């Protein structure tokens, strides 16, 4: 198993150096794992009923492929976090397009009491959450990463701790802090 992790890390480095074949090997090796991540993101996603995990993942990978440079991922876990962020961006872009068509519908502000609510949010709520999360990332990058992994990637406390290589109690603290901060921000924008 260690060899597989080392292979992926090496392939990521090769991709960063311009090797398109290495990029393809990374995608091939991690595709099933990343597709499960996409399915978790969409599991409770009511606002994107027509979007399938494969399509979400492919859009995220296409976004990474079209970037001018390969993502600066140090290893497999870091790459998964980058893909989760790309999936978030795909969902937010989709929400922005929907909102551009509708331009608001008088919906109530997003509640973070149950973090799954963010996945079923209407486009305006999702965009407000994304904007608030971008601000939080400037103030506290780790707290923003916790929210991103919990809300947009659907990870548990333990999975988030493993992905960020921190203790689950630290994830709980960051989650409580970030949730309270986001509630204040989203409440202020209502």
For position 167, what pLDDT does the model report? 92
Supply 61's token pair. 């990978």
Average pLDDT over residues 58-77: 84
68-91 confidence digits (pLDDT tens)? 788 888 888 888 888 888 888 888
Number of Cβ atoms within 10 Å of the Cβ of 188:
9
Residues 22 and 71 sit within 8 Å (Cβ to Cβ): no
106-145 confidence digits (pLDDT tens)? 444 445 544 444 555 677 788 888 888 899 999 999 999 9
Of 94-98, 143-147, 185-189, minimum mean pLDDT range? 185-189
Of 43-47, 123-127, 142-146, 173-177, minimum mean pLDDT range? 43-47
For position 107, what pLDDT does the model report? 47
Please state, in angstroms and rounded to a whole number, the distance separating the CA atoms of residues 178 and 113: 12
Residues 110 and 188 sit within 8 Å (Cβ to Cβ): no
pLDDT tier, 189 (very low <50, low <70, confident <90, very high otherwise)? low
Distance, C-alpha 48 to centroid of its chain:
15
Reply yes or no on whether the pLDDT at 1 is more than 70.
Answer: no
For position 45, what pLDDT does the model report? 57
Distance, C-alpha 156 to centroid of its chain:
13
Please state, in angstroms and rounded to a whole number, the distance separating the CA atoms of residues 32 and 165: 22
Average pLDDT over residues 20-27: 88
């Amino acid at each position: 198993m260690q060899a597989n992790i080392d292979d992926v890390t090496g392939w990521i480095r090769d991709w960063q150096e311009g090797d398109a074949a290495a990029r393809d090997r990374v995608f091939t090796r991690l595709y099933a794992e990343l597709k499960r991540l996409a399915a978790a993101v969409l599991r409770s996603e009511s606002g994107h009923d027509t979007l399938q995990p494969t399509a979400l993942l492919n859009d995220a990978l296409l976004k990474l492929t079209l970037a001018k440079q390969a993502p600066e991922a140090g290893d497999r876990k870091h790459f998964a976090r980058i893909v989760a962020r790309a999936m978030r961006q795909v969902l937010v872009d989709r929400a922005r397009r929907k909102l551009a068509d509708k331009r608001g519908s008088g919906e109530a502000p997003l509640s973070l009491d149950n973090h799954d609510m963010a996945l079923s949010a209407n486009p305006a709520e999702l965009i407000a959450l994304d904007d608030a999360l971008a601000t939080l990332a400037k103030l506290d990058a780790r707290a923003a990463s916790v929210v991103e992994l919990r809300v947009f990637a659907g990870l548990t406390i333990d999975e988030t701790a493993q992905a960020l290589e921190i203790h689950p109690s630290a994830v709980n603290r960051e989650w409580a802090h970030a949730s309270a901060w986001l509630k204040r921000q989203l409440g202020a924008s209502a």
